[in-house]
Chain A
Amino acid sequence: GAGVSQSPRYKVAKRGQDVALRCDPISGHVSLFWYQQALGQGPEFLTYFQNEAQLDKSGLPSDRFFAERPEGSVSTLKIQRTQQEDSAVYLCASSLNRDREGYGYTFGSGTRLTVV
């Protein structure tokens, strides 16, 4: 597609429920990032993929968070046993690569997760 697509757009989960958030990056984009944006805050880095390899997962807040990109295109962010503090907008971004002109990140519109 023309942009980064995220689904669902909104998700309401009961505390303790598992959720899966999907990101469809721009076709051919090598790099994929996940960010978490709490209300009134800037996006916080979660994890980074280059193709199917997860090169940096230092931002994942706990072992309840897990991300994968098995074929180097679509990525899924999974949150197990959701807690109220997980409520946030989860943003996905993709980039063709980090070249000299670089950093042409394209962000999706995000998934707003509300844990009740």
Chain B
Amino acid sequence: AQSVTQLDSQVPVFEEAPVELRCNYSSSVSVYLFWYVQYPNQGLQLLLKYLSGSTLVESINGFEAEFNKSQTSFHLRKPSVHISDTAEYFCAVTRYSSASKIIFGSGTRLSIRP
């Protein structure tokens, strides 16, 4: 079975500061990894995903995540955050397979201070 651990339930940062949201996963088989974002009162949106190839993946709004197989991590980073990045961020994993569910972490609430 797969599992996801997000160690930080809340991360407060100042605007324009860098941020890292940590994610570690556990799996005995190869997996796909995702970061989803949930803005207040909205549904989940896919931020970025790692399926194969380059271990560094990027989103259109400046976030990036690096797949580290040896450390079973998929941390999310942004060099300079904006107020509009305030949201809940969920790391998720699914195994290579058809009809396989996505397993989500418990989430990290990113709050940006002006």
Contacts and interface: CB of A to CB of B under 8 A. Distances in A.
Given A43-B44, A103-B94, A33 B101 contact: yes
A45 B43 contact: no
A56 interface: yes
Contacts of B32: 103
Contacts of A66: none
Given A56-B99, A91-B44, A107-B43, A42 B34 contact: no
A59 B104 CA distance: 13
B107 A42 contact: yes
Interface in A46-103: 48, 50, 55-56, 59, 91, 93, 98, 101-103
In terms of DSSP, what is the predominant structure of the interface of chain A? loop
Interface residues of A, number: 27
Interface in B79-114: 90, 92, 94, 98-107
Interface string A24-51: 0000000101010000111111001010
Contacts of A45: 101-103
Given A4-B43, A41-B107, A98 B98 contact: yes
Give the most central of B4, B41, B43, B49: most A CB within 10 Å.
B43
A33 B45 CA distance: 15
29 contacts: A4-B43, A31-B99, A33-B101, A35-B104, A40-B9, A40-B107, A41-B107, A42-B4, A42-B90, A42-B104, A42-B107, A45-B103, A55-B99, A56-B99, A56-B101, A59-B101, A91-B44, A93-B44, A98-B98, A98-B100, A101-B51, A103-B32, A103-B49, A103-B51, A105-B46, A107-B36, A107-B43, A107-B45, A109-B41
Interface of A: 4, 31, 33, 35, 40-45, 48, 50, 55-56, 59, 91, 93, 98, 101-105, 107-110
5 A-B pairs with least C-beta separation: A42-B104, A107-B44, A107-B43, A45-B101, A109-B43
